[in-house]
């Protein structure tokens, strides 16, 4: 229904723009079933229609038919798909699962022959949602492509690119002897716009101090230089480097620190030369020139008291060693009921 400009002005309305011609696409193709031929517009007719207010239709590709044939075919195809049984009902127990699920993909209920359930129930008698139409199963990543037979198949394919393990390294002691350095790095995966994580640049280098050659002075000096990076009980040195922006740079810096510490420990400066040795721990050096002969048990008990501290156990051992050294009878303390 069209409205004239005079009718609008009659009611005090001023028209902004009036479109008197339909912009719907004209039928440019005759019915295919009637055997008609294509109908194309020439340039003169297109210009005349544009002047009359008809928009030009952008026609790219094959023209569409208005007889509804494609829609009927699509509806018929959807009906056939609905009548088909799910794929997992036709699967055999001895099938090749690698051919069904070769790589990581979103969960598909019609392919997985398992009664998978996931989700929370809101009511008491409500059943946990099954795998059909379950959005929770599609949210999480699944590892259905990493079954043991598939992993074994992948390992067999990669085996030709690997070298055999050395036969001489048949124990942990030999491995630690020939490969004393242990480098630990960490990779992080997260759902972010960038795959980089600043924490992945950290490098941890560990090795046993006994794997390096030291004399008494060099070993004592490198322990002092390491500080809390050296564990006395396990004899392991731990160097953590994360000041450089990249992992490779931190690994090179950790190797540089190890080399610098080793050669610095063997160096003896002028201020280190003293009349007596400055040890980190007390070492009992008692001469046997007197009448009393000091045994190793007394020296060890004295070192424990001065290095580990005074407690009930160290004082008891020191007392027993001193009484034995002075040839006094052993004193036994027993609990008395008061």
- DSSP secondary structure of 235-288: TEEEEEE--SSSHHHHHHHHHHHHHHHHHHHH---GGG--SS---SS-------
**Domain harbouring 178, CATH code:** 3.30.160.20
- Report the domain count for the chain: 4
pLDDT value at residue 229 = 94
Q: Is 97 exposed, middle or buried (0-12, 13-18, 19+ CB in 10 A)?
A: middle
Q: Indicate whether 243 belongs to any domain.
A: yes
Domain boundary among 130, 161, 192: 161
pLDDT digits (tens, 9 = 90+) for 4-48: 556 656 666 555 554 444 444 444 444 444 444 455 677 888 888
Helical packing angle, 296-308 and 312-325, nearest 10°: 150
- Over the stretch 313-322, which tens digit does the pLDDT of each residue have? 888 888 888 8
pLDDT at 247 exceeding the cut of 90: yes
pTM of the model: 0.49
Which of 139, 161, 183 is at the close of a domain? 161
Helix pair 247-266, 216-226: axis angle to 10 deg: 140
Reported as a pLDDT band with limits 50, 70 and 90, residue 167 is confident
Q: Give the structural domain span for 14.
A: 1-61
Q: 66 lies in a domain?
A: no
Average pLDDT over residues 45-62: 78
213 and 191 in a single domain? The answer is yes
Q: Is residue 238 part of a domain?
A: yes
Mean pLDDT to the nearest integer, 130-137: 88
On whether both 289 and 337 belong to a single domain, the answer is yes
Band (pLDDT 50/70/90 cuts) for residue 75 is confident
Check residue 182 and give its pLDDT. 95
Instruction: Name the residue with higher pLDDT: 188 or 328.
Output: 188
CA–CA distance, 134 with 118 (Å, rounded to integer): 8
- Sign for the pseudo-dihedral over CA of 56, 58, 59, 64: negative
pLDDT in tens, 82-128: 667 788 888 888 888 888 888 888 999 988 988 888 888 888 888 88
Establish if 278 belongs to a structural domain.
no
Instruction: Establish if 72 belongs to a structural domain.
Output: no
């Amino acid at each position: 229904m069209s409205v004239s400009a005079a009718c609008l002005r009659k009611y005090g309305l001023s028209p902004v723009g009036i479109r008197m011609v339909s912009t719907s696409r004209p039928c440019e193709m005759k019915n295919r079933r009637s055997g008609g031929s294509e109908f194309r517009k020439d340039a003169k007719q297109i210009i005349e229609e544009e002047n009359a207010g008809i928009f030009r239709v952008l026609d790219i590709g094959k023209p569409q038919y208005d007889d509804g044939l494609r829609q009927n075919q699509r509806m018929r195809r959807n009906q056939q798909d609905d009548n088909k049984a799910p794929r997992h009902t036709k699967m055999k127990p001895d099938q090749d699962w690698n051919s069904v699920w070769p790589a990581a993909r979103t969960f598909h209920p019609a392919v997985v022959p398992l009664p998978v359930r996931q989700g929370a129930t809101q009511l008491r008698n409500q059943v946990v949602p099954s795998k059909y139409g379950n959005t929770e199963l599609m949210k999480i990543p699944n590892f259905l492509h990493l079954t043991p037979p598939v992993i074994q198949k992948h390992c067999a394919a990669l085996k030709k690119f690997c070298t055999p393990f050395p036969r001489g390294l048949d124990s942990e002691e030999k491995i630690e002897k020939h490969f004393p350095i242990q480098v630990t790095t960490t990779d992080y995966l997260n759902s972010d716009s960038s795959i980089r994580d600043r924490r992945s640049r950290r490098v941890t280098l560990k090795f046993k101090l006994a794997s390096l050659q030291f004399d008494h002075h060099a070993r004592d000096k490198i322990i002092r230089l390491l500080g809390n990076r050296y564990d006395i009980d396990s004899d392991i040195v731990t160097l953590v480097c994360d000041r450089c922006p990249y992992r490779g740079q931190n690994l090179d810096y950790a190797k540089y620190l190890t080399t610098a510490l080793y050669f610095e420990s063997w160096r003896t400066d002028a201020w280190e030369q003293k009349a007596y040795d400055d040890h980190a721990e007390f070492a009992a050096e008692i001469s046997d020139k007197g009448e009393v002969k000091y045994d190793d048990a007394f020296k060890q008990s004295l070192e424990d008291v001065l290095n580990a501290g005074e407690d009930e156990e160290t004082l008891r051992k020191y007392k027993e060693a001193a009484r034995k050294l002075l040839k006094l009878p052993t004193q036994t303390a027993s609990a008395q009921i008061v």
